[in-house]
């Protein structure tokens, strides 16, 4: 976790590093964040660290207490369902807008991503599995060509990624998501928008139900 930042865009790179450490659990909930220590680890001044922490606070990933101590925010279990329901609603909008643009090669990309997802799940490589899942859904989200929608979904999934990684070992029957992905693919092959929408909603709702809080 001590890789130095060497790129030109120091502020953004500092933000990305800290965000990834929080999402992946290298900086766990409740961890105190001292700008001096973080600056030393990343090989930058304290100013970009402070700016990154302010940005992360706006995103709800860190919090500053009245005594001015800054720490990684806890994971809001009760808010998880709301996040999931927003994402699947927005994905339905994305697939509706993208449906006429989906070609056979796009479906093939989804199938490849799904096989990669299954392989990583079998290896219990949680981060790689989540990235493969993200790539699967991104195929049709990107085809919506709705830049604002794509950005909103991406930002929401960053928050879900932290939850998914934190609870990865507590999720039961996560491999079932592979079968649900296959149902989405099959619905696309049948060129049925209604079936595709139902399959996407089922995937997200079932994924949430597999969490054991």
What DSSP assignment string belongs to 172-185?
SSTTHHHHHHHHHH
Mean pLDDT of the chain: 89
Strands 62-64 and 70-72: antiparallel
- Which tokens is 164 given? 């998914």
Largest CA distance in the chain: 59
Place of tokens 């599995």: 129
CB 32 within 8 Å of CB 24: no
pLDDT higher than threshold 80 for residue 68:
no
The H or E element that residue 150 is part of is: helix 147-166
Q: What per-residue confidence (pLDDT) applies to 92?
A: 98
Least confident of 4-8, 44-48, 175-179: 4-8
User: Distance between CA atoms of 128 and 116, rounded to whole angstroms?
Assistant: 9
Q: Model confidence over 95-128: pLDDT tens digits? A: 999 999 999 999 999 999 999 999 998 888 888 9
Task: Work out the average pLDDT over 47-57.
Answer: 93
pLDDT at 157 over 80: yes
Reported as a pLDDT band with limits 50, 70 and 90, residue 5 is low
The predicted structure's pLDDT at residue 10? 87
**Domain 77-209 sits in CATH 1.20.120.530:** yes
Tokens standing for residue 4: 């130095």
User: Which pLDDT belongs to residue 170?
Assistant: 66
In this prediction, residues 16-43 reach a mean pLDDT of 91
pLDDT at 2 over 80: no
- The model's pTM: 0.80
Partner residues linked to 72 by β-bridges? 62
Tell me the CATH number of domain 10-72, given options 3.40.50.720, 3.40.605.10, 1.10.10.10, 2.120.10.30: 1.10.10.10
Q: Which two tokens stand for residue 184?
A: 């989405």
Q: Is the pLDDT of residue 142 over 60?
A: yes
Q: Which residue has the tokens 């996407």?
A: 200
**CATH 1.10.10.10 domain locations along the chain:** 10-72
3-state class (DSSP) for residue 27 = coil
Residue span(s) of the chain under CATH 1.20.120.530 come to 77-209
Residues in contact with 190: Cβ distance below 8 Å, sequence separation at least 6, in sequence order: none
């Amino acid at each position: 976790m001590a890789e130095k930042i060497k790129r030109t865009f120091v502020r953004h790179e500092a933000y990305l590093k800290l965000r990834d450490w929080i999402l992946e659990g290298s900086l766990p909930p409740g961890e105190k964040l001292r700008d001096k220590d973080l600056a030393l680890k990343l090989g930058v001044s304290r100013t970009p660290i402070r700016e990154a922490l302010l940005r992360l606070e706006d995103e709800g990933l860190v919090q500053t207490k009245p005594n001015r101590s800054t720490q990684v925010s806890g994971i809001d279990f009760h808010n998880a369902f709301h996040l999931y329901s927003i994402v699947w609603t927005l994905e339905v909008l994305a697939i509706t807008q993208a449906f006429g643009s989906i070609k056979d090669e796009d479906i093939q990309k989804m199938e490849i991503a799904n096989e990669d997802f299954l392989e990583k799940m079998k290896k219990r490589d949680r981060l790689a599995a989540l990235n493969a899942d993200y790539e699967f859904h991104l195929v049709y989200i990107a085809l919506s060509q709705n830049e604002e929608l794509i950005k909103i979904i991406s930002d929401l999934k960053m928050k879900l990624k932290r939850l998914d990684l934190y609870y990865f070992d507590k999720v039961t029957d996560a491999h079932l998501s592979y079968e649900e992905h296959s149902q989405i693919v099959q619905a696309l092959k049948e060129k049925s928008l209604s079936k595709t929408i139902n399959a996407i909603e089922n995937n997200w709702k079932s994924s949430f139900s597999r969490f054991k809080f």
